[in-house]
Amino acid sequence: MLTRTKEILTEAKKNHYGIVAPDFWDLNSARDYVRIAEELNAPILLSFAQAHKHLISLEEAAAVGRLMAESVKAPIALHLDHGEDFDYIRRAIDLGFNSVMIDASMHEFKENVRLTKEVVDYAHAKGVDVEAEIGHVGGTTESPTEMESVANVYTTVEEATAFVEQTGADSLAVSIGTSHGVYKNNKNPELNFQRLQELAANVPVPLVLHGGSGTGDDNLKRCVREGITKVNVFTEFTTAALAHAAKAVREEQLKSYMRVQQAADEGIRSVISHYINLLTK
């Protein structure tokens, strides 16, 4: 059931559980996510990232996402992840995405506010919710301990509260030490839980954690317990799909592409099941 992000996240924030936001890249991955959400009677944010526009078009993503969301009773929001520019985000809204993210976190504060508010004004007029980001959630080649100034990495309470007030964003992605992708040596990152507690106590909108893959179950459960409402996951789905497919090819000596796809889907469904159970219990 296509449901507004604000409704899903408000309920989760109120009742202290987390919502997983998996990125889909084709029909199969979207169907896998929604199928498990329905089986577990759990809401998710079915997300498509602008960075994956080379895999399927925005028009295809919108059609797939709406079809999948409307095919089940579980609450599903169709979310644009890491929207990079106003024109692409506007197109997503016009095509039926009912939730969008504008990621202008690489800009200075004032420019981030300006770009975010432009999206918020357009989206809210269409009944669409907006996620924004402040702070630095980089790739896994960098980490807060490797940066010269931690102050430039972690989201500050002062900027976060001012940002939400000035933009009207409905949720806020914050930086407390995670990165996108697979962590070096497969080690879980060290997170700044004190900063998370401070942000949760002062920022009125739901907080979002990007870079959920590889962060570790204990870290994620504590994040939700201490104020994170939405967790983005992507890399673990692709690695699980590849691992399950490779294992099936090796052990079953497969010659059928269809069976390879089935094995990949099994991997994807195992990961989404894990994260839904982890964040909601």
Q: pLDDT tens, 117-153? A: 999 999 999 999 999 999 866 544 444 444 434 445 7
Contact between 207 and 171 under an 8 Å Cβ cutoff? The reply is yes
Looking at residue 138, what is its pLDDT?
54
Give how many domains the chain has, as a whole number. Answer: 1
Known catalytic membership, residue 81: yes
Residue 258 within a domain: no
Residue 120 within a domain: yes
CA distance 176 to 141: 16
The count of other CB atoms within 10 Å of the CB of residue 277 is 13
CATH number at residue 53: 3.20.20.70
Choosing from 32, 81, 103, 265, the catalytic residue is 81
Residue 194 within a domain: yes
Residue 250 within a domain: no
Residue 257 within a domain: no
Cα 39–Cα 241–Cα 254 angle in degrees, nearest 5: 110
* Domain housing 225: 5-233
pLDDT band with cut points at 50, 70 and 90 for residue 255: confident
Q: pLDDT tens, 68-110? A: 999 999 999 999 999 999 999 999 999 999 999 999 999 999 9
Residue 280 within a domain: no
Amino acid at 41: N
Residue 145 within a domain: yes
E strand spans, the chain: 19-22, 44-49, 76-83, 99-102, 129-134, 171-174, 207-209, 228-233
Residue 96 within a domain: yes
Q: pLDDT tens, 150-190? A: 445 799 999 999 999 999 999 999 999 876 444 445 556 68
